[in-house]
Every structure is written in structure tokens, then in C-alpha cells.
A and B are shown apart, each in its own frame.
Chain A
Amino acid sequence: MTPDPSPPSKDAGDLKSGRRGFMAFAAAGIAGILIAPGVRLIEIAQATPATGTLSPGASSKVRWGMLIDSTKCVSGCNDCVTACNTENGLSGGTKATDSQWIRKIEIKEVRTGKTQSLPMMCQHCAEPPCVDVCPTGASFKRADGIVLVDKHTCIGCRYCMMACPYKARSFVHSPQTDQKPDVPRGMGTVEACTMCVHKVDKGEMPACVTACSKAGHEAILFGDLNNPESEISKRIASYPSRQIRENLNLDTGVRYLGI
């Protein structure tokens, strides 16, 4: 047989350059260790920008948060939950094995019988216990305060689900198909509210916030907690807002009014 001019054979040169590149990289790495004994790897990591480009990305000057006014939240209204399911491609089921990124809860004060309704989701803590316990570093907090799961490194141990005081995380039990292009979801990983990070990065509002104002309730306010001029900061400064389980000192990004 004569040799077949197939595409892989063309790459022989590339293979060589790949190997050479690796050797150079390895040599540089060894040289780095030998030359600079005082420099620790963490310092190098912190000094290097994440990319060479000047793209914006998440900034630590911003801290995204939500203020949920439970006095405006209507009992029986599920619009935020539906919007979240649609936006993120969730089934909408409420079984123990179904993913629920946001859920409505009804609370009742036993003595007076006063009932209240409010949405519950990932509270995007400044000190997230899910990040503390994650054995692989998959659970992480972005510079702008949004707590996410890197499913590329998640091993599905579910330790974060146990650590979360808000029961905010779900485990994907079954194979997924037809996910949303912006919201990858896969079996064997943990997931939770992402504060619609793909929309926030585009300068849009999370789906639940949009749905709530569309329904005319305006119960969820989204904004930058670090900016004293933002609407959310002004309201937090002038009205008594609460964090759920404040005693844990997690400094949640989601605050509640009227509870």
C-alpha cells in the first residue's frame, strides 16, 4: 500500500514543535524554581493577570447582591421560580432528586399567625461555607461575589450541599440533554443559583428579578452592594434589612426586607 495522504500525517511537524515547546516550558519552570528561591508560587499566581487581554471580566470593586422585599412578595406567585427554570433549562420538578435553584417558601409566625412568602436560593455569601469545604476547589466565589460551581472540577461529593445552611444546592442525578448554551448542566455535579451570571456579565438582570417586576410585584431588587449610590445600597442603608441566619456571620449577598 502506498501511504495515504491523511490529515494526521501532516501534523508530524506540529508534533515535534509541541514536544519542543513542552521541553522549553519545563526547562523554564525548573529555571524559575532555581533562580528565585524566595518567590512562592502563590505570589506568582496573584501577580499574573488571569489573561493577557484587557477584557473586563468580574471586578472585585463590585459586589452583586439582591434585596428581597417579602412584604411585596405574593403568596402563591411562582413567577421567579418559573423564570429561573426557563432561563436555566431546569425541569421544574420539586422531587428531592430534581434541581431547584430557587424555591418559594411560606413562613408563619406561630404566635400571631402572620404568614409571609419569600423566595429562597443561594445567598451568595461573602464567606461561603460551600467554598470552605469543597475538596477540589470546584466551589468558588467570583471576584464580584457570585458563588459558583466549576463543574469541570466538581467530583459530585456533595459536601457543599451539606455545608450550605440554606439548602440552596442541588445535585444532578440523571443525564442531561438539550441544556441551554449559556447554562451547562451535567450528571454527577452540584449546581445552584448562579445569579444568572451569563446575563449579569452582559449587563442584564437575573431572570427572577425581571420576572418579578414583569408580574408587577417588584419584590426583588438586584444591584451592586459595594456602590453606595446604587438603589440597593440606598435601600439597605435606609430600611432594616435582614440576612437569613445572620448568626452564622456569612455576610450574605441576598438580603431580605420585612422578615
Chain B
Amino acid sequence: MAPRFGALVLLIGLLISGAVHAGDASASRVSQPVIEAARGGQCVADPAFMRRNHMTLLKHQRDDTLRVGIRTGQYSLKTCIDCHASKTTNSVAASDTNFCQSCHTYAAVKLDCFECHTNKPQVKP
């Protein structure tokens, strides 16, 4: 009896680990966002915080920059792009795997920034 029970436990264990593996290998029905590696070192804030609050930070700073002329803030869209532009497309939103676009596709949130702003980093002279 005991060995048979042991085999059953082993079997269930294998099944669960198999299911976990399947989840990891993006067999899930929802494709996970691909987060491409950034060019720079540390982000201006903790990634979890940025994930949740980047839109507020950007919106706050855009008003400061445009209306008040303050161009020294650390949450500028330009610096985001400089760091996060893909090494292959040189953009944050040109393809579905690029930094901004991949998460926005995953979250089904329309990305309006790049209708006016460039999605490529500044070309250094």
C-alpha cells in the first residue's frame, strides 16, 4: 500500500511541475510582455513604482516643461526613450516587442505619446 501511495504522490508532483513549466514557456493564452533590456544602468525609480506611476510622472512633468519651461526634471519622456529604445529597432514603440509597446499591448492601453513625440532617441551630434 505505502509504495503505491508514494508513486501516486510522485505522479501528482510531476503533473504539477509540468503545468508550472507549461506556464513558464508562455503556453498561456495571454502573451506576456517582453521587456527588452535597457541601455542605461538604474532606472530613475523602482521598476514596480514606475510600472504603476510612469504616466502620472510624465503627465506632471510635461506640464512643467511645456508651460513653465522647466527642463531639468528627471521624469522626461526623452530620457525614458534614450534608455529604453530597443537595440534592434532603435525605438520604444516601433515593434510589438519594444519597451513601451509590449506592455501597452499586454495591458490593452492605447499609447498616444508617439503620435506627436518621436519614439527614437536623440541622435547625438
* B100 contacts the other chain (CB 8 A): no
Q: Would you call B118 and A178 a contact (CB within 8 A)?
A: yes
* Complex contact A184–B69 (CB within 8 A): no
- Contact between A181 and B122, CB atoms less than 8 A apart: yes
Does B13 make an interface contact (CB < 8 A)? Answer: no
Given contacts A11-B48, A184-B117, A51 and B23 within 8 Å (CB-CB):
no
- Are B71 and A201 in contact, CB atoms less than 8 angstroms apart? yes
* CB <8 Å contact, A1 and B23: yes
B66/A148 in contact, CB under 8 A: yes
CB-based nearest B residue for A2: B20
Within residues 173 to 220 of chain A, which ones have a CB less than 8 A from any CB in chain B?
175-176, 178-182, 184-187, 189, 197-198, 201-202
Chain B contacts for A150, CB-based, 8 A? 66-67
Does A110 interact with chain B (Cβ within 8 Å)? Answer: no
CA distance A137 to B115 in the complex (A): 21
Please indicate the chain A residues that have their CB under 8 angstroms from the CB of B20 in the complex: 2
Residues in A whose Cβ lies below 8 Å from that of B49:
14
Smallest Cβ-Cβ distance to B113: which chain A residue:
A184
> How far apart are B82's CB and chain A's nearest CB, in angstroms?
9
B68 contact set on A, CB distance < 8 A: 50-51, 57-58, 142-143
CB atoms of A184 and B52 under 8 A apart: no
A interface residues, how many (CB within 8 angstroms):
41
> Using a Cβ cutoff of 8 Å, how many contacts connect chains A and B?
89
> Given the complex of chains A and B, what is the CA–CA distance between A152 and B115 in angstroms?
11
Contact A57 B116, beta carbon cutoff 8 Å: no
25 contacts between A and B (CB under 8 A): A1-B23, A2-B20, A7-B33, A7-B51, A11-B48, A11-B51, A11-B52, A14-B52, A50-B64, A51-B64, A51-B73, A56-B69, A57-B68, A58-B68, A58-B69, A140-B67, A142-B68, A143-B68, A151-B116, A152-B66, A178-B118, A179-B118, A181-B118, A182-B78, A186-B115
| Contacts A50-B63, A51-B73, A150-B66 supplied; 16 other A-B pairs, CB < 8 Å | A4-B28, A50-B64, A50-B67, A51-B64, A53-B70, A53-B72, A57-B70, A140-B67, A142-B68, A150-B67, A152-B62, A181-B81, A182-B122, A189-B116, A197-B69, A202-B71
Residues of A within 8 A of B (CB): 1-2, 4, 6-7, 10-11, 14-15, 18, 50-51, 53, 55-58, 140, 142-144, 148, 150-152, 175-176, 178-182, 184-187, 189, 197-198, 201-202
